[in-house]
Chain A
Amino acid sequence: MGREANTEPKYDLLALVTLDKSRILGGKQLTLLAKDEEEQKTMTADIAKALKADVVKMNSGDYLVIRV
């Protein structure tokens, strides 16, 4: 995506919010395990608001909080 989707090609992956414990593999970003989908959405929105970041919903159901 990079230069194609937005003009500033710097991306920071800030958080991953998942429902699947096996996908928590570590890394620089904050990774959180939610109980259910509702909690996952709320957690994602809270983090995104606090960090003034954007949210990507992945096809796997996980949410990424990224800053462009």
Chain B
Amino acid sequence: MDGMLSREHTILIVTSIIVGTLARIITIKEDFRQYPSYPNGYLIHLVTGFVAASLGAVAIPALMTKNFVAVTFLTLAIQQFRDVRKSERESLKDLENTEYAYRGDAYIDGIAKTFESRNYFSLIVALATGITYEIVDSSAWINTICSAVVGFIILYILKRFSKGKSIGDIAEVKEAKIEVKNHELYVDGLYVTNLLGTENASKLFLEEGRAVVIYPKKHHFRVTLENFGQRQAALFEATRTLGVKRYHFTRRDFENGRVVIALVPIINDKDKLIEAVKKTPLLESTKKSESVMNSNMVGRE
């Protein structure tokens, strides 16, 4: 039996892999809205999650058997997760021309990073599960239960840590009045575009157009909300949720920071439109910390 895994290590590895893979299954649901092609995409990410969990699971038995060199394969894992980010980014960029509106590079970058970090979830959860199994000195059943519990606690903490905010957290989103004056589109009195040059276009927007205005709750939130990538992400979510018959615009008001999103949707439902915009995630690349910006730098008053 020399060279074979012991029963204890086998249980440790299997438990860690199961808990780590479950961590990926649980977190993949949160990305459903952002998912481009879910049946196959789902499988791809479950398999990479399984691989991540496996790498985390075997690290502890490798250490316990004094196989320290084997732990360097964790660097391989990091490389693999970077490839996950890269492939996700490429896949979403390939889809850009087929969507109603562009996701935009900022949103794609955010989604790709999220997918990468979710694989680290699996790795860390599996690793924590394995460590706990090794530390708890009891029967196999007790060890398994304790390690699984710790694994899920770590998952909960990681989820809380990485949970981002959405537009609804920092802004009010309200339905807005659409007007067309001399073939120019106005939303709540704010000029949006003059692309409605024909009678048909003006009529279509007046009859079927929908618009919402995003009002920042605090002045400094304007920096985030008015970011081009952030507005594009909001527009993308709106068009993705309701579909687009024709036209979609965003416009910002320099005076008071209102942001307009206007479109002619396929599903004409104002509540869904407001909800879609509210639930648009705040992109990591656009976030600004007000407290950091207020801090005094050395040498300054």
Contact = CB atoms under 8 A, between A and B. Distances in A.
A64 B251 contact: no
A18 interface: no
A55 interface: yes
B197 A63 contact: yes
Given A3-B228, A7-B231, A8-B102, A54 B249 contact: no
A37 to B, nearest CB: 12
A57 B194 contact: yes
Contacts of B196: 55
Instruction: Indicate the size class of the contact surface on chain A.
Output: 10 to 19
A1 B102 contact: no
Contacts of A63: 197
A30 interface: no
A6 interface: yes
B235 interface: yes
B251 A44 contact: no
B228 A54 contact: no
Contacts of A6: 193, 195, 248-250
A55 B195 contact: yes
A56 interface: yes
A13 interface: no
A61 B269 CA distance: 36
B101 interface: yes
A43 to B, nearest CB: 11
Contacts of B200: 45
A38 to B, nearest CB: 12
Contact of B198 (A1, A4, A5, A48): A48
Contacts, number: 54
A60 B189 CA distance: 23
Contact of A54 (B197, B235, B252): B197
Contact of A5 (B195, B199, B228, B232): B195
Contacts of B231: 7
B111 interface: no
B174 interface: no
B192 A7 contact: no
Interface string A20-50: 0000000000000000000001001100100
A3 B182 CA distance: 22
Contacts of B102: 7-8
A7 B195 contact: no
Given A45-B200, A63-B197, A5 B101 contact: no
Contacts of A48: 198
B183 A57 contact: yes
B170 interface: no
A55 B203 CA distance: 14
B110 interface: no
Interface in B223-258: 228, 231-232, 235, 247-252
Given A7-B248, A57-B182, 14 more contacts: A6-B248, A6-B249, A6-B250, A7-B102, A7-B228, A41-B199, A45-B200, A54-B197, A55-B198, A56-B194, A56-B197, A57-B183, A57-B194, A57-B197
14 contacts: A4-B251, A5-B195, A6-B249, A6-B250, A7-B235, A44-B197, A45-B198, A45-B200, A48-B198, A54-B197, A54-B247, A56-B195, A56-B197, A66-B195
Q: Which 9 pairs show the lowest CB-CB distances between chains A and B?
A: A55-B197, A57-B197, A57-B183, A5-B193, A54-B195, A7-B232, A56-B197, A55-B198, A56-B194
